[in-house]
Amino acid sequence: MASQLLWKPDHDQVDLRNLTAFAAQHGFTPDDFPALHEWSISSQHSFWSAVWAFCHIVGNPGNDVGLDLDKFPGSRWFPQASLNFCENLLRYDDSRTALVAVTEQGERVAMTYNELRIEVAKFAAELKDLGVESGDRVAGWMPNVIETVVAMLGTASLGAVWSSCSPDFGVEGALDRFGQIEPKILIACDGYTYNGKTFDITHNVDTVANSIDSIEHVIWCSLLGLRDDGFRKIRQRPETTPDFQRLPFDHPLFIMYSSGTTGKPKCIVHGAGGTLIQHVKEHVLHCDVQRDDVLFFFTTCGWMMWNWLVSGLASGCTLILYEGSPFHPSPTVLIDLIDQESITLFGVGAKYVASIEKAGVVPKTSHDLTSLRAIFSTGSPLTHESFRYVYACVKSDVWLASISGGTDLISCFVLGNPWGGVYEGEIQAPGLGMAVDVFSDDASSITDAKGELVCTRPFPSTPIGFWNDPDNVLFETAYFDRYPNVWAHGDFAEKIAETGGFIIHGRSDAVLNPGGVRIGTAEIYRQVESLETVREALCIGQEWDGDTRVVLFVVMQDNAAFTQETATMIRTKIRANASPRHVPARIVVVPDIPRTLSGKIAEIAVRETVHGQVVKNTSALANPETLDYFKSLEELQS
């Protein structure tokens, strides 16, 4: 049975949207997204060629859209094309605002498109003078500020490769990442402010710079006044016009990193053309980004959503960068931004939505929100309760699009559909050009049943490969071992027949399987975290007595006590609303739970710890000390 319909678009306005104009060129109407999607995957040459033209990609597409598209992996997209990623993001040269950077201290800096072009020209010239050439790596250890965008664009304009992490990464976390890719230049801040506290990272930066032999220069961004500001000096250069070097479609652009708790992070290499065409397709066709839009996503520079956000410049809109805690100095700081900056497209993690609900924030009564047209959510599954909260307490006529993909493809497999309705708990649609499906263990396509989220045909933002994996052994093992010639994404998912939507139930490697019955951890969290006294939860399967039993860890709200009544309520909710087979055998209160540096809960690390195994790479965790709570819990021995 379909979930409750919470919102549907006004079709009098839908005719003005990007997707409708694109579809009309190819004979499709707003009533038939499934037909448009089927065309996009069955006629890949026509579809991706049409995206290049409709999104006005700057460059030469060449004569062929793809080669060997029956090979997955092994296909090649736009093999004769030449383009420059930076040139596409800086195609506009006018006085419209390109970037607005806001900090939790209330500082605000704005930059127009022509000012941004000049800043990028100067920065690229500086890199060139420092010996940076096409293919060299430039690493950014930076917060979400304008200087980071300038540095990335300057790097890309030269054909060099950008890789970044946020300043809260420790020395080991930075070394695990940057040490593998051997950057020539390190761009780093001297410190940052978060939740009202200031953090000096100059010693960390010096340690990393001295530990990686390939680093020849450090360019400092002095936010705390602790080092000479290299950006201030670069701004004195005379250059005003960027020099864009056009390169092949698959020329490397970004190196991204897996979470890495089971070993050193995988270094995932993404090409300039694939990243660009995927991002503009998602922004223009799926998010309906217009030139006069104001786009915001709460992210750090260590998460792929930063890369996704910055690509919004290619659509000519205004980007809002926020640096700091989303709850300091108040729980409404990001909601305040909507009114202050007239944000039209507002993106946050699903955990943020649940947190402001628990904090009692009711934006529809405290804020104007007239500008707000859409809310995008990702990072973890958005619960049914969060869907209802948005429409009841934030804005009743907003378009709420849950989206899901990952660092692995630097984009989305499933996301919003401007034509479609929003159903409680569901992601609206598969991405155009993405042959998304759900498979059973025997590789059968299944509907209205839970299985593995897969993609059965190549897509342009398939990674070029992993760094230092010349024969693609690690790359192919990561995605293609389970189903030959099919990308297995690692998400436990469900395809809904009636609506055409998708539900993500959690990561496949964290699925609970007591008695051979599988359930995603997201289904457990939804029930547990609906209790006002519970802040968050983490669930694992513990090997026990020849089977698996469910163990639930909970973090209580401040001053909330865990009682027998609490335990009974949790078990009752799970039994009634999720599964009687997955009622936890043990419920254990812990002071905190471990998270990766990108903010995702680390279920596998806890499972390994509980089973006495060594977590191979604790530097991938933002709070590795929390694993100590789980090492000798007596509750888990009986």
* Domains within the chain, CATH numbers bracketed: 5-495 (3.40.50.12780), 511-637 (3.30.300.30)
Please tell me the least confidently modeled range out of 150-154, 232-236, 562-566.
562-566
Question: Could you count the other beta carbons within 10 Å of the beta carbon of residue 384?
Answer: 19
In degrees and rounded to multiples of 5, residue 292 shows phi and psi of -95, 10
Q: Is 60 exceeded by the pLDDT of residue 1? A: no
Q: Is 70 exceeded by the pLDDT of residue 349? A: yes
**Residue 399 or residue 17, greater confidence:** 399
Spatial separation of the C-alpha atoms in residues 310 and 410, rounded to whole Å: 12
User: Are 534 and 587 within 8 A, CB to CB?
Assistant: no
pTM, full prediction: 0.91
Q: How confident is the model at residue 13 (pLDDT cuts 50, 70, 90)?
A: low
Q: How confident is the model at residue 263 (pLDDT cuts 50, 70, 90)?
A: confident
User: Are 521 and 492 within 8 A, CB to CB?
Assistant: no
Determine how β-strand 66-67 pairs with β-strand 247-248.
Answer: unpaired
User: Are 573 and 525 within 8 A, CB to CB?
Assistant: no
Q: On the CB side of 353, how many CA atoms lie within 13 Å of its CA? A: 31
DSSP state of 2: P
Average pLDDT over residues 188-215: 97
User: Are 491 and 482 within 8 A, CB to CB?
Assistant: no
The overall average pLDDT reported for the chain is 94
**In which element (H, E) is residue 546 found?**
none
Q: How confident is the model at residue 16 (pLDDT cuts 50, 70, 90)?
A: low
* Joined tokens for residue 352: 């943020």
- Please provide the size of the chain in residues: 638
Q: How confident is the model at residue 329 (pLDDT cuts 50, 70, 90)?
A: very high
Please tell me the least confidently modeled range out of 209-223, 340-354, 509-523.
509-523
pLDDT digits (tens, 9 = 90+) for 87-96: 999 999 999 9
pLDDT digits (tens, 9 = 90+) for 43-95: 999 999 999 999 999 999 999 999 999 999 999 999 999 999 999 999 999 99
User: Are 296 and 75 within 8 A, CB to CB?
Assistant: no
Q: pLDDT at position 200, please?
A: 97
Instruction: Please name the residue that has the structure tokens 């050193």.
Output: 264
β-bridge partners, 193? 198
Average pLDDT over residues 568-587: 89
- Residue 167 CA, distance from chain mean position: 18
Q: pLDDT at position 180, please?
A: 97
Long-range CB contacts for residues 563-567, cutoff 8 Å, separation at least 24: 566/531, 566/533, 566/534
Q: In terms of C-beta density within 10 A (0-12 exposed, 13-18 middle, 19 or more buried), how is residue 637 classed? A: exposed
Q: pLDDT at position 485, please?
A: 95
Spatial separation of the C-alpha atoms in residues 191 and 200, rounded to whole Å: 4
Helix, strand, coil percentages (3-state) for the chain, rounded to 5, are: 35, 25, 40
Average pLDDT over residues 592-612: 88
Spatial separation of the C-alpha atoms in residues 475 and 113, rounded to whole Å: 38
Q: How confident is the model at residue 155 (pLDDT cuts 50, 70, 90)?
A: very high
Residues above pLDDT 90, as percent of the chain:
83
Q: How confident is the model at residue 262 (pLDDT cuts 50, 70, 90)?
A: low
- Residue 283 CA, distance from chain mean position: 14
Spatial separation of the C-alpha atoms in residues 550 and 582, rounded to whole Å: 6
* Joined tokens for residue 27: 């004979």
Q: pLDDT at position 260, please?
A: 63
Spatial separation of the C-alpha atoms in residues 586 and 576, rounded to whole Å: 18
User: Are 496 and 503 within 8 A, CB to CB?
Assistant: yes
β-bridge partners, 138? 162, 185
Spatial separation of the C-alpha atoms in residues 133 and 84, rounded to whole Å: 14
pLDDT digits (tens, 9 = 90+) for 542-565: 988 788 899 999 999 988 999 999
Spatial separation of the C-alpha atoms in residues 502 and 5, rounded to whole Å: 14
Question: Could you count the other beta carbons within 10 Å of the beta carbon of residue 486?
Answer: 18
Give the CA radius of gyration of the chain.
Answer: 24
Q: pLDDT at position 2, please?
A: 57
CA–CA distances in Å: residue 569 to residues 215, 354, 562: 55, 19, 11
Q: pLDDT at position 390, please?
A: 98
Please tell me the least confidently modeled range out of 519-523, 528-532, 584-588.
519-523
Q: How confident is the model at residue 399 (pLDDT cuts 50, 70, 90)?
A: very high
Helices (H), 225-332: 230-234, 272-281, 304-310
- Residue 558 CA, distance from chain mean position: 29
Q: Is 80 exceeded by the pLDDT of residue 496? A: yes
Q: How confident is the model at residue 622 (pLDDT cuts 50, 70, 90)?
A: confident
* Joined tokens for residue 32: 């038939």
